[in-house]
Amino acid sequence: MSWTEERIDQLKRLWGQGMTASQIADELGGVSRNAVIGKAHRLGLEARPSPVKGGDAAASGGSSPAAATPAPEKAAAPPPRPAPTPAPAPVSPPPAAAAPAPAPTTPQPIVRSIGPGGFQRQAPGEQSSPIPPAPPRRLVPAKPSAEMADKTSLLDLNDKVCKWPLGHPGEPDFHFCGEPINPGFPYCLEHCSVAYQAQLPRRDRRPPPPLPFGGPRVR
């Protein structure tokens, strides 16, 4: 697996949502949690509560089987990591050049936007409670549109419906057939006829058609 644009974007979002590196790696698939952590650091996504910080490192006796550096530098040079970068300071909204006069005399109704998990976002300027309820840590995919409401999504697959894919993964209307299966097969009768064909004698076989694509689909 490689870090495509989509996967990096997903890593950023999930990391920002507080998912652990293991969860993210599991979500992305094809990568280890170490890969996720390493990538997150290279992207500069640090500043996560780490179980390990400060403290004296490798102070106790050498019980470890492999100590790459037996710490000669420790006695000679001071620890070269004195910059923990306290506040990465996320993007702050750029103040408008001409600041509008903040004098709405008429009481405005509080307008809140809806977050990805369905929770109400805090309105600008609205006070938050001292201990705000934590948003859901793991967001489950939802039907993005009414058009998909009756379509069979990946999560709708089970042993009773046809798993024949329609469209391509990543496309907005990608879904599965969903018709009742031909018993004993993962597809319905119609798609079984496409997926399985009787073995003909060589002399009666059609020459192999050209591949419908030149390789993996690139988006």
Which residues here bind DNA, judged by CB under 7 A?
1-3, 20-23, 31-35, 37-42, 46, 48-53, 55-59, 64-69, 81
Question: Token digits for 92?
Answer: 């702050």
The candidate with the shortest Cα–Cα distance to 161, out of 144, 140, 133, 185, is 185
Rank residues 53 and 202 by Cβ distance to DNA and give the closer one: 53
Cα gap 32→11, rounded to integer Å: 12
Look at residue 189 and give its three-state secondary structure: helix
Rank residues 2 and 129 by Cβ distance to DNA and give the closer one: 2
Question: Token digits for 170?
Answer: 């990543």
Rank residues 38 and 180 by Cβ distance to DNA and give the closer one: 38
Rank residues 1 and 96 by Cβ distance to DNA and give the closer one: 1
Least distance between DNA and beta carbon 12 (Å): 13
Question: Token digits for 96?
Answer: 């408008």
Look at residue 175 and give its three-state secondary structure: strand
Least distance between DNA and beta carbon 213 (Å): 25
CB neighbour burial string for 23-37, b if at least 16 within 10 angstroms, e if fewer: bbbeebeebeeebbb
Cα gap 165→174, rounded to integer Å: 8
The candidate with the shortest Cα–Cα distance to 10, out of 49, 40, 38, is 40
Rank residues 58 and 142 by Cβ distance to DNA and give the closer one: 58
Least distance between DNA and beta carbon 67 (Å): 4
Query: Is-contact 207 200, C-beta < 8 A?
Result: no
Question: Identity (one letter) of the amino acid at 72?
Answer: P
Rank residues 52 and 149 by Cβ distance to DNA and give the closer one: 52
Least distance between DNA and beta carbon 87 (Å): 14
Least distance between DNA and beta carbon 30 (Å): 8
Least distance between DNA and beta carbon 20 (Å): 3
